[in-house]
Amino acid sequence: MKGTIKRSLMFVIITTVLCGLIYTFVMTGICQVLFHDKANGSIIEVNGVKYGSEFMAQQYEDEDHMWGRVMNLNMTTYKDKDGNTLLYSGPSNVTPASGDFEKTIEERVEKIKANHKEMGNTPIPPDLVTNSGSGLDPEISPEAAEYQVKRLAKNNGMNETQVKAIIDKCTKGRFLGIFGEKRVNVLKVNLMLDGILK
């Protein structure tokens, strides 16, 4: 009996050391060497200034910048240890069959139209008036980016060709050429519009 307990205890200690310590340190080391940028959050840093992660949405609603997916921001639920309010975004959990959802979409459509009068009755791409499951989607479809070109050109003193060139630089293709859809990184576009990224 004592021998069985001793062997079991040794097994637990060995697997804890192997899986909990050695494996963790080895994998962390490999990731830091081979995928340093991704392993550290894919932070966009220019001249020592960190502007955010390319995988985390930021909300833009001004005329000079590209707008991304709608964020369902919450500034009341979470606080840090000092009692400061923390910004949080998540899904709305509202069913598309509800009147609330329909009303919300109508309000978002009106807001988009009011800020893109030059687009007239051009259909608004769905991702400009809906939020993602996480509420933190950093990318939009090329169609949603194209919809904003005229506004961005006018408000940034650029021509449409220049804005489209920026969008093209910030567009990713399908994974392995077949999976997913093309998408445009909103933060990168905005940093390029501001002249921060080249």
Domain boundaries, the chain: 2-37, 41-193
| pLDDT (0 to 100) of residue 40 | 66
Q: Give the integer Cα–Cα distance in Å for 10 and 6.
A: 6
For range 24-53, the mean pLDDT = 78
Nearest Cα residue to 65 out of 141, 154, 143: 154
Do 93 and 132 form a contact (C-beta atoms < 8 A)?
Answer: no
- Residue 118 reports pLDDT greater than 70: yes
| pLDDT (0 to 100) of residue 180 | 81
